[in-house]
Amino acid sequence: MKVLGLGSPLVDILVHIKDDFLNNIEGDKGGMEYVDVSVIEGTLTVLSSDPEFAPGGSAANTILALAKLGIPTGFLGKIGNDSRGRFYTDNYSASGGDIRQFKISDTVNTGRCLSLVTPDSERTMRTFLGAAASILPEDILTEDFVGYTHFHVEGYMVHNHDVIEKAMRMAKEAGLTVCLDLASFEVVRDNREFLEHLLSSYVDIVFTNEDEASQYVASESPEDIFEQLDGMCDIIVLKLGKKGAVIKAGDVKVRIDAKIVSAIDTTGAGDLWQAGFLYGLLSSKELSGKLLEKAGGFGAVLGAEVVQVMGASLSDKRWKELKTILK
């Protein structure tokens, strides 16, 4: 088994703020909006605490976690030929990831994401895609998919219809299982029709939370959500935060309890939940309710683990302990 990710490789800038600071910026709390790099730099100048830096990006968080767990991985995304880009690939390579699918821009700097974390551990993100947004359909090559079995795509890539559709089509033609994370309610709200096309044409496993699913289905009822998504994807994963998750595959439906911990930052919680799920799913070729429960339980473990630290990065020591726990 070998998993290839597709997404926007970004350097995360993580900082704690008070709730009233959000009154100074546009957009909803807990959401993600694309901004010019000047907005990020301007915001940083008025922050009272020092930021932390880490390699990030939704699909990249999932793929990096899988690499830390010993799963062979690669990543398809574009970075700049700059110090942030080298910081990114050095970290990923040191974790055992294959960096050969990274594309390099000589003209645009590596993207970054400012993650503003409030006392309730919610994060509000402002993202400058930079080089990640400059990836083109011609950058996606047939050889990028050779040797891989699974293809995990972040929903944030739907801003580039041509790239995400070509990549998914090539992955399916190469025999890969395609996974899609719906990413955010803004993504679903702004791309509802195109997402329906992707789900019905290419996607085998879809990950969604309550906010994203209710944007897609126009209902908060899990039954309505499954009814609309059923038949489009082989596996539907509905994440419900502190209420756990519900996973459906054909006629099999299982509920997964959340692990309740003291959270300080929800950055990467969904991404690592997905890593745990995929790690469990890859342990067997026979799909069953028992396997789904195991995979969902692994997701709950990793999701609970990452909210106890700033950002989506855990220490190497903790990853070794987690590998033992999951085994």
DSSP assignment of 223-280 equals: HHHHHHHBTTBSEEEEE-GGG-EEEEETTEEEEE-------S--TTHHHHHHHHHHHH
Q: Would the pLDDT of 63 be above 80?
A: yes
Residue 59 pLDDT level (bands cut at 50, 70, 90): very high
pLDDT at 264: 81
Average pLDDT, the chain: 91
Q: Which fold has domain 3-326?
A: UDP-N-acetylmuramoyl-L-alanine:D-glutamate ligase (3.40.1190)
Burial class of 106 by CB neighbour count within 10 A (0 to 12, 13 to 18, 19+)? exposed
Mean pLDDT of 43-50: 84
CA–CA gap between residue 278 and residue 63 (Å, rounded): 10
Report whether 268 contacts 61 (CB < 8 A).
yes
Query: Residue 219: is its pLDDT beyond 80?
Result: no
CA angle 130, 3, 267 (to 5 degrees): 50
**What would the pLDDT profile of 222-276 be if each residue is shown by its tens digit?**
778 888 888 889 999 999 888 999 999 998 999 999 898 988 877 788 999 999 9
3-state class of 122 per DSSP? coil
What are the pLDDT digits (tens) for 264-319?
877 788 999 999 999 999 988 788 999 999 999 999 999 999 989 877 788 889 99
Rounded CA-CA distance 244/304 in Å is: 11
